[in-house]
Each structure stands twice: as C-alpha cells, then as structure tokens.
Amino acid sequence: MNFQSAELTQQVAQTARDFAKQHIKPHVMEWDESQEFPVHIFKEMGKLGLMGVLVPEEYGGAGLSYFEYKSVIEEIAKVCGSIGLSLAAHNSLCTGHIMTFGNEKQKKKWLPKLATAEWIGAWGLTEANTGSDAGNMKCTANKDGDDWVINGAKNWITHGNSGDIAVIVCRTGEPRTKDNSTSFVVERGTKGFSAGKKENKLGMRASETTEMIFDNCRVPDANRLGEPGDGFKQSMKVLDGGRISIASLALGIAKGAYEAALKYSKERHQFDQPISNFQGISFKLADMATEIAAADLLTLQACDLKNRNKPMTKEAAMAKYYASEVAVKVANDAVQIFGGYGYTKDFPVEKYYRDAKLCTIGEGTSEIQKLVISREVLKN
C-alpha cells in the first residue's frame, strides 16, 4: 500500500477544506447551540460533488474512491463533527445501500437525486429496543398485492425528519429467524410515513436525529432493495463501508482537537514560558500525534481493501473502533491542555470533546466492534 496520498486525493481534500473554512466554520457554534440542521449547506456540498463522492459518474456522482471519501469526511469533521456525521450518513448509508443493492432502474431513479443533494438521504435500521441487537427489529412489512404495508418505528435516525428519502430495514419473517428482514426505499410524503421525536443531544447537535414512524405506510414492491429476507445481511455489508465513514469522522475530530491544542500549547505561557515546554504537556502531544497516525493507517488500510473489493470486515471494525477511541482520548487531552479555557464555548475543544463521543456509539458501539474483530480473529 502506498501511504503517500495521490494528487487527486489532495485536490479533493483541499476542496472540502476550503468549503469548510468558508461556509461552515463561521456558523459552527450557532448551529450547535440551536440544534439547527443546515440543509442549505448540504445543497452547496452537492454542487461540489461531496454528496455523491463514491457514486459512479453515470449516476451523477463524483465516481471517486474511498481514499477521497475518507479525506472529505475528515476535512469537514475537522471543522464540524455534525456536518461530517450527516455527510457520512447520506453518502455511505442511504446512498451506499441503494448503490450496492439497488437494481438498474432503482439506481437510475434515486442515485442522481442523492448524489447532487437534490434529495437528502436517511437510513433506518435501529429501533427503540433494538440497537446493537438490530436483527431483533419489530418494525414489520407485510406483502399486500403489489405493495408492502409497513408498521412500526425507527429511532435515532440521522435526517429522520429532513430526509427526502429513507432506506429502511423491516422484519418480513418470523421474529428471531434467519433471513427475516427486507430493505425498502420510502420517499418523504408517502402516506403513513412521518417523523417523531427529535433527540436533544450532548454533541453532534447540528446533525438531525429523529424517530421515523410508519403507520400502515404502503410502498410498492418496486421499492424493495434486493431479495426478500436479505435486509439484515445487506445492512451488515453497508455498515462495513459505514465504519470507514465513522473512522474518518473520528480522525477529523481528533486532528481538529490536536491541531488546536498544539497551537495553544505554544501560545499559552505559564511560569514565564510556553506550556509546551512542560513535559506533562509535550508528552500528551506526542501521544496524540502517535495515536492519530496509527488510526490514520488503520483507516487507510480499510479504504484500500474496500477500493479493491477485498474482504474488510475486520479491518473496517478495527479502524472504526481504534479511531473512535483515539478521538475521545485526544479531545479529552485537548481540553486538558486548554485548561479552564478549554471548558468554555469560546474555544473549539469542548465541542470536539462532545462530538467525539458519538463515534464510539454510532454504527456499532466499540464493544460491538470488538465482537466483530474477535469473531474474525477466532475464525483462524
């Protein structure tokens, strides 16, 4: 694997960096305080190809690889974790699911709208009582003539209210049986589909998280993605790619926190010298830099395997698990380096600290990543 990022990757990263600096940075705290999900920002990112990074050009996307995708999520998350999270959910969950499992007609119908951000996408697997145990879902879809009738709710859904389209996984067989779920596309405005409670969160506050409710919601069989019974298997594959997203998101947050702490440590004087002169601070910076570099390499490894269509379940889980834990630790140390100022909203590190925690929870907790990794290593 070549660790030197290609010119194309650097150009794409620069585009995302410039956009974040100009359009996101000035509003970060305002959106965080008000929990506003700034839809217009995503429309703008759509114009730059950032909402369909992995979508082939024939479907209106940028047709780029996971290396560029990683760099986009990272650059945006360096400035705002919330926008990074929403970008990731749109690109790799909703769009990724249709791209991987949709038939030609479905891809032609929905991918161009998603890749250009004409439509914002949501993806619903989790329910109130089935998070880690997602296979035990209660939301059902029953076949009725040429339609499926969906009843139940999905919780914790990114863009559950503002999304124009959602891919949802519903139970279509007996509880706790094999192959008992199926994926469907539901468009906003479909009768019986509405949004429920919006969560008031610790971090990632500008990324909308809501409940989606289905009350005798009827969708045509043409909206079914893949074969009946394949929903859970499809989701696990989608989440393999999604883990690269969260690893990249965590990396962006960790790098943002580290860069802020590094700069501050050289500017802040105590005992007539910069605090970076104190080993207690400089060793923290050394740990941060080392752990970020290791998380970066794990994520690049997962990207490389995914680009080459090689098995990467273990590597994606390792990247997601490690990068997320590093982000939490780095953000915590960054607050410490800022001292009292780090505990206020006048400096960026308190937000990194709050946002980072999501990375150890969303798209499979750290414990679930360890379950995935241990299963893979015990296979041999």
The residues that are catalytic are 363
Euclidean distance between CA atoms 108 and 102, whole angstroms? 9
CA distances from 263 to 67, 253, 268, 276, 334 (A): 28, 16, 9, 9, 11
Strand partners, 140: 151, 171
For residue 254 the two structure tokens come to 């960790």
Pick the binder of ligand FAD from 65, 158, 180, 313 (CB under 6 A): 158
Task: Kindly tell me which of 236 and 297 has the beta carbon lying closer to ligand FAD.
Answer: 236
Stretch that binds ligand FAD, among 32-40, 152-160, 185-193, 274-282 (CB under 6 A): 152-160
| In the complex, least distance from residue 363 CB atom to ligand FAD, rounded to whole angstroms | 5
Task: Kindly tell me which of 131 and 226 has the beta carbon lying closer to ligand FAD.
Answer: 131
| x/- track of binding to ligand FAD for residues 183-212 (CB under 6 A) | ------------------x--x----x---
Euclidean distance between CA atoms 137 and 129, whole angstroms? 8
| x/- track of binding to ligand FAD for residues 20-39 (CB under 6 A) | --------------------
Stretch that binds ligand FAD, among 8-16, 122-130, 221-229, 281-289 (CB under 6 A): 122-130
| 156 φ/ψ angles, rounded to the nearest 5 degrees | 65, 35
What is the number of the residue whose Cβ is closest to ligand FAD? 131
Pick the binder of ligand FAD from 42, 119, 148, 156 (CB under 6 A): 156
Q: Are 368 and 346 in contact (CB under 8 A)?
A: no
Residue 363 sits in the site that holds ligand FAD (CB under 6 A) = yes
Residue 132 sits in the site that holds ligand FAD (CB under 6 A) = yes
Euclidean distance between CA atoms 95 and 107, whole angstroms? 9
Task: Kindly tell me which of 150 and 281 has the beta carbon lying closer to ligand FAD.
Answer: 150
Residue 157 sits in the site that holds ligand FAD (CB under 6 A) = yes
Task: Kindly tell me which of 301 and 365 has the beta carbon lying closer to ligand FAD.
Answer: 365
Strand partners, 153: 213
Residue 89 sits in the site that holds ligand FAD (CB under 6 A) = yes
For residue 367 the two structure tokens come to 């414990």
With CA atoms as reference, report the closest residue to 295 among 248, 331, 239.
248
Applying CB under 6 A, what is the total number of residues that bind ligand FAD? Answer: 22
Residue 312 sits in the site that holds ligand FAD (CB under 6 A) = no
> Letter for the amino acid at 380?
N
| In the complex, least distance from residue 209 CB atom to ligand FAD, rounded to whole angstroms | 5
Pick the binder of ligand FAD from 46, 81, 84, 124 (CB under 6 A): 124
Stretch that binds ligand FAD, among 42-50, 121-129, 267-275, 324-332 (CB under 6 A): 121-129
DSSP state of 65: -
Stretch that binds ligand FAD, among 9-17, 189-197, 301-309, 362-370 (CB under 6 A): 362-370
- Check residue 186 and give left, alpha or beta (phi > 0: left; psi -120 to 50: alpha): beta
Euclidean distance between CA atoms 132 and 112, whole angstroms? 32
Residue 361 sits in the site that holds ligand FAD (CB under 6 A) = yes
For residue 230 the two structure tokens come to 């394949």
Residue 368 sits in the site that holds ligand FAD (CB under 6 A) = yes
Stretch that binds ligand FAD, among 104-112, 211-219, 335-343, 355-363 (CB under 6 A): 355-363
Q: Sign of the CA dihedral 172, 176, 178, 183?
A: positive
Q: Are strands 165-171 and 121-124 parallel, antiparallel or unpaired?
A: parallel
Euclidean distance between CA atoms 132 and 368, whole angstroms? 7
Q: Are 37 and 3 in contact (CB under 8 A)?
A: no
Residue 365 sits in the site that holds ligand FAD (CB under 6 A) = yes
Q: Are 168 and 154 in contact (CB under 8 A)?
A: yes
The residues binding ligand FAD (CB under 6 A) are 89, 123-126, 131-132, 156-158, 201, 204, 209, 358, 361-365, 367-368, 371
